[in-house]
């Protein structure tokens, strides 16, 4: 098979186009989610929830968060392990759920997890019985009857019920049925997931790899192990090399040879265009870290800085906060990786204005008085 030879600009444009961030904006939320395959959920909403920011970056101010909430309520979209996915895609995960904790030789951590669930089988059965009779329930409404506590050096230490529920999701026994405020509601998976035929595990993995490559455009064939959603794509697509970047890539040939027209977009820190930090450096030469967990004195760009895309380049970061009590989107800084030319500066400010209008907030730029949002 021919190995495609791409410049870095070629690779960037494929990645931007695949993520629906080029000049031809999509218009339909469900079509966007089906193409991207997921919207990541994160509780931080310094500007807006990440899933909504990703949708706004593609659809613009016509996007209404209520549409996403309605699609989840109608179960056209479903939540699976902190990812919003099309409901029809659940058939691609059910075989792996049935094989939990995995096929073949298990790793030590898989055995430990399996043994912990077995040790707390009475609690697991109690959860299933309670949900069958009363569900959906929040984790707070489910008594902790675990015999062996979950031990961890992180935030899950001794959070037995929530950890068992998460593992029961991986087993295909329970599912997120909705939310009460910010708390998840849990129910039996059979009452949440569609009754579509289960796709065999090997075929499902190939389909997921192909769909992931369609959403990314270009990716590594192999990469580090990632929880929930891989960054590599196996043998999907066709081989490619990128000028000045070591190693072999996989590219979706549907994007090759297409004309490119870009635009400015403000991205969520969890946007899939920049989620693979190694790929982001290799293709875009872009240095980015989410700094909300860093001490204030060590932050370079801000608590929740939004990457700024201009055409096929990542050109800066927007340090902004939605101050809803004051009714203002406060912009503390617009970090320019390289000085913006006048056209780029104007386009970035116009997109920030668009963001404020979408949030229904006035805009406060550095050194200026708040300006009222535009009508319409």
Distance of alpha carbon 279 from alpha carbon 230, whole angstroms: 13
> Is 42 part of any domain?
no
**279 and 231 within one domain:** yes
- Give the model confidence (pLDDT) of 7-28 as tens digits: 999 999 999 999 999 999 999 9
Pairing of strands 4-6, 238-242: parallel
Where among 192, 214, 244 does a domain terminate?
A: 192
Mean of per-residue pLDDT scores for the chain: 95
Distance of CA 216 to the CA centre of its chain: 12
* φ, ψ dihedrals at 224, nearest 5°: -65, 150
| Same-domain status, 168 and 227 | no
Kind plus residue range of the DSSP H or E element containing 220: strand 218-220
Residue 368 has a pLDDT of 61
Three-state DSSP class for residue 19 = coil
If DSSP codes are grouped into helix, strand and coil, which group holds residue 42?
coil
Tell me: do 218 and 354 sit in the same domain. yes
- Domain ends where: 168, 192, 216? 192
Do 182 and 155 fall into the same domain?
yes
Phi-psi region of 217 (alpha: psi -120 to 50; beta: other; left: phi over 0): left
Q: Could you tell me the pLDDT band of residue 328, with boundaries at 50, 70 and 90?
A: very high
Q: What is the pLDDT of residue 226?
A: 86
Query: For residues 169 and 224, is the Cβ–Cβ distance under 8 A?
Result: no
The answer to whether position 72 is within a domain reads no
Both 264 and 349 in a single domain? yes
What is the Rg, in whole angstroms, of the alpha carbon atoms belonging to the chain? 22
Decide if pLDDT at 252 tops 60. yes
* pLDDT tens profile 50-103: 999 999 999 999 999 999 999 999 999 999 999 999 999 999 999 999 999 999
Residue 227 binned pLDDT confidence (cut-offs 50, 70, 90)? confident
Q: Structural domain tally of the chain? A: 2
Q: Are residues 292 and 338 in the same domain?
A: yes
Of 21, 6, 10, 11, the residue nearest 268 (C-alpha): 21
pLDDT at 373 over 70: no
Residue 153 is predicted with a pLDDT of 83
Q: Which residues contact 166 (CB under 8 A, 6 or more apart)?
A: 81
More confident residue, 234 or 227: 234
- How far CA 291 is from CA of 52, 225, 313, 319, in Å, comes to 20, 23, 21, 11
Is residue 375 pLDDT above 60, yes or no?
Answer: no
152 and 259 together in one domain:
no
What CATH code is carried by the domain that includes residue 117?
1.10.10
DSSP 182: T
Asked if 21 and 273 touch (Cβ cutoff 8 Å), the reply is: yes
Residue 182 has a pLDDT of 87
pLDDT, residue 366, reads 83
CA angle 151, 157, 163 (to 5 degrees): 90
Contacts of 22 (CB under 8 A, 6+ apart): 13, 16, 260, 261, 262, 263
In a domain, 357, yes or no: yes
Other beta carbons within 10 angstroms of residue 304's beta carbon come to: 21
**pLDDT band at 245, cuts 50/70/90?**
very high
Do 238 and 358 sit in the same domain of this protein? yes
Choose the final residue of a domain: 130, 164, 192: 192
Domain-embedded: residue 146: yes
DSSP structural state of residue 20: T
Domain boundaries, position 244? 4-22+205-364
* pLDDT computed for residue 74 by the predictor: 97
Task: State whether 214 and 315 are in the same domain.
Answer: yes
Name the 3-class secondary structure at 114: helix
Q: Please report whether residue 69 resides in a domain.
A: no
Residues 173, 170, 217: CA angle, nearest 5 degrees: 130
Query: Is 152 within the bounds of a domain?
Result: yes
Per 3-state DSSP, what percentage of the chain is helix, strand, and coil (rounded to 5)? Answer: 40, 20, 40
Query: Is residue 216 domain-shared with residue 259, that is, in the same domain?
Result: yes
Give the number of other CB atoms < 10 A from CB of residue 100. 18
- What percent of the chain shows pLDDT beyond 70? 97
Statement: residue 369 has pLDDT above 70: no
In whole angstroms, what is the distance from residue 271 CA to residue 144 CA?
36
CA dihedral 229, 232, 237, 243 (to 10 degrees): 140
Q: 137-163, pLDDT tens digit by residue?
A: 999 999 999 999 999 888 888 899 999
At residue 223, the pLDDT reads 87
Provide the whole-model pTM: 0.94
**Predicted local distance difference test score (pLDDT) of residue 374:** 65
Hey, how many other C-beta atoms are within 10 angstroms of the C-beta on 83?
Answer: 16
Nearest Cα to Cα of residue 92 among 233, 225, 244, 196: 196
% of the chain exceeding 90 in pLDDT:
91
Residue at 124 is within a domain: yes
Contact 302, 269 (CB under 8 A): no
| 236 secondary structure, DSSP code | -
Sign of CA dihedral 361, 366, 371, 376: negative
Look at residue 76 and tell me if it is in a domain: no
Reported as a single tens digit per residue, the pLDDT across 112-138 is 999 999 999 999 999 999 999 998 999
Q: Regarding beta strands 238-242 and 245-251, do their DSSP bridges make them parallel or antiparallel, or are they unpaired?
A: antiparallel
Check whether residue 228 and residue 344 sit in a common domain: yes
Task: Kindly state whether residues 183 and 232 are assigned to the same domain.
Answer: no
């Amino acid at each position: 098979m021919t190995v495609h030879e791409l410049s870095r600009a070629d690779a960037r444009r494929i990645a931007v186009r695949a993520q629906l961030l080029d000049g031809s904006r999509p218009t339909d939320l469900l079509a966007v989610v089906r193409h991207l395959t997921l919207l990541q959920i994160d509780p931080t909403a310094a500007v807006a929830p990440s899933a909504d920011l990703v949708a706004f970056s593609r659809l613009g101010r016509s996007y209404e968060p209520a549409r996403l909430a309605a699609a989840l309520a109608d179960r056209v979209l479903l939540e699976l392990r902190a990812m919003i996915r099309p409901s029809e895609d659940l058939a691609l995960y059910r075989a792996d759920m049935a094989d939990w904790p995995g096929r073949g030789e298990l790793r030590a951590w898989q055995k430990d997890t399996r043994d912990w669930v077995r040790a707390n089988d009475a609690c697991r059965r109690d959860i299933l019985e309670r949900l069958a009779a009363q569900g959906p329930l929040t984790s707070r409404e489910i008594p902790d009857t675990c015999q062996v506590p979950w031990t961890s050096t992180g935030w899950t230490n001794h959070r037995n019920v929530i950890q068992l529920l998460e593992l029961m999701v991986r087993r295909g026994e329970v599912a997120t049925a909705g939310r009460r405020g910010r708390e998840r509601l849990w129910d039996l998976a059979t009452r949440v997931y569609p009754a579509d035929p289960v796709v065999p595990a090997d075929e499902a993995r190939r389909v997921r790899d192909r769909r992931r490559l369609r959403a990314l455009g270009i990716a590594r064939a192999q990469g580090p192990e990632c929880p929930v959603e891989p960054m590599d794509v196996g043998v999907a697509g066709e081989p490619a090399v990128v000028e000045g970047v070591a190693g072999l890539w996989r590219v979706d040939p549907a994007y090759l040879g297409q004309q490119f027209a870009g635009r400015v977009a403000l991205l969520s820190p969890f946007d899939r265009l920049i989620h693979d930090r190694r790929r982001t450096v290799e293709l875009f030469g872009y240095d980015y870290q989410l700094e909300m967990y860093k001490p204030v004195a060590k932050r370079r760009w801000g608590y929740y800085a939004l990457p700024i895309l201009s055409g096929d380049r990542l050109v800066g970061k927007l340090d902004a906060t939605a101050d809803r009590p004051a009714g203002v989107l406060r912009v503390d800084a617009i970090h320019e990786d390289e000085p913006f030319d006048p056209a780029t500066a104007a386009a970035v400010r116009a997109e920030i204005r668009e963001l404020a209008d979408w949030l229904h907030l006035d805009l406060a730029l550095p050194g200026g008085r708040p300006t009222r949002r535009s009508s319409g």
